[in-house]
Structure formats: C-alpha cells, structure tokens
Amino acid sequence: MGRNRRVLPRRFYDRDTLTVAADLIGKVLVHRSASGVVAGAIVETEAYIGESDPACHAAPGPTKRNAPLYGPPGVAYVYLNYGMHYLVNAVTEGEGSPAAVLIRALEPLEGVEAMRTRRGGRGSTLEVSSLCRGPGNLTKALGISLVQNRLRLTEPPLSIEDWGVAAGEVAWGPRIGIRVGTDRPWRCYVAGHACVSGKRT
DNA sequence: CGTTCGATGCACT
DNA sequence: GTGCATCGAACGT
C-alpha cells in the first residue's frame, strides 16, 4: 500500500451512481491542509439519485443549495445538517443529472492524531475506529466544512485516491437516518467493519 | 445493554 | 415557521 497512489479521474464519477457508490469503497478520502494530511479508506457510502428520489436534495428541483448536484461530476457537495454537522458527498453522473454519493464512514489511515484533536481535543480517548464513524464525525475529523463545498475531488486539497487498499466484501441495505425513500437499498458498506456507522453486530 | 431527546443553523415553503 | 442524509448525553432495563 502507498507505492501506487492515483487520484481518481473525473470520468470515475461520470457513471451510474450505484456503481460509483460501490467502487468508492476502499478508495481514500484525503484532505491536505495547513494542519497536515489526514486520510481514511471509505468503508460506507449512500447513493442519492435524481429528483425522483425523495431523500435526494434534488427532490424539490434546482435550488441555490443543491446547485452542485446539477453540475459536473467529481465535485464535492458539502452542506450543514441539523445545524451542526457537515456532510460530504461526491457528485456523480453527467451535468443535469443530479445525483451524489454520501460518504458515511472511513477507516483512518493517516493523520490519526490530527483527527483525534479535531474530534475530542488533545488527549482524547476516542478509539481509532470511532474517529470517522458516521458522516458528521468524519467531516469533523478531516476538517471539512462549507469551505470545501464545490471543490474538485480530482486535485488537492480535497481528493479521493486509490491507494491500493483491498476493498473487502461489500453489502447493500436501506439508507440510514432518512424518513423518506427508505425502501431503496442504496447504502453500501463493508460488512462487519468496525468503522461502519449504525448498530454494531 | 437499550431507547429517547435536546442542541443548533440554514434552506425552503 | 418547519424540517432535516446527526450525534452523544442521559436516562431506563
């Protein structure tokens, strides 16, 4: 691992959203900032696809907030949720086809101390497997906020890369934390992985 | 273990 | 004014 690092090209995202959601498992979300490099392997994603998906932010049609969903693929869509958590998505499919993959959990690979400081302050006793468990937690650990909204994921400072991490076995299930569209099994995750959000098994 | 519930800000109707 | 793609502290069992 680490000798063959490749940033995912824009065409990676210009595909069917469910395919992208599955292929993002095992890829590495990297944030390079003045605080250093933090990175983690993606172990959980959710697909939000089009205006016909009631849980997708594009459901009401184009608005100021969801504009990135209608733009080019390979761009970060970040927004504030519940007034206190930032959530990061990768925009997928072509322009005019509003869809994205929400990144829900990471396995920390680099910058664990920086993550710990951002999550719980210095001397935090948080386990490594909890640092990026949940979409609001991972953005906090990586220092992602609205500043990173609309950034291209195909170049620094915020990128998704292939570090040659083995993806592991992937499972599909209903999306978490939404009240509509729960019938669509569009959550993709590494079954049994300690860093995946939700109830542990 | 389990479940409930309050915090908190902004986009949208 | 309402409703969230959440989290974790504070309970109950």
pLDDT digits (tens, 9 = 90+) for A22-33: 999 999 999 999
Q: Is the pLDDT of residue A14 over 90?
A: yes
pLDDT of residue A58: 97
User: Which chain C nucleotides are covered by protein, judged by CB under 7 A?
Assistant: 3-8
pLDDT of residue A201: 58
A84 touches strand C (CB under 7 A): yes
Between A118 and A125, the higher pLDDT residue: A118
CA of A176 to C1' of C7 (A): 14
A12 touches strand C (CB under 7 A): no
Q: Is the pLDDT of residue A2 over 60?
A: no
CB atoms within 10 A of CB A91: 27
- Alpha carbon distance A5, A41 (integer Å): 13
pLDDT of residue A107: 97
Q: Is the pLDDT of residue A84 over 80?
A: yes
pLDDT (mean) for A87-104: 97
- Alpha carbon distance A87, A10 (integer Å): 21
Residues with CB under 7 A from strand B: A 60, 63-66, 80-84, 199
Closest nucleotide to A66 by C1' from CA? B11
Q: Is the pLDDT of residue A125 over 80?
A: no
Query: What angle do helix axes A112-120 and A135-142 make, rounded to 10 degrees?
Result: 110
Average pLDDT, chain A: 94
pLDDT (mean) for A44-61: 96
User: Which chain B nucleotides are covered by protein, judged by CB under 7 A?
Assistant: 2, 7-13
Residue A75 has what DSSP assignment? B
Do residues A174 and A185 lie in contact, with contact meaning Cβ atoms separated by under 8 Å?
yes
Confidence of residue A13 (pLDDT cuts 50, 70, 90): very high
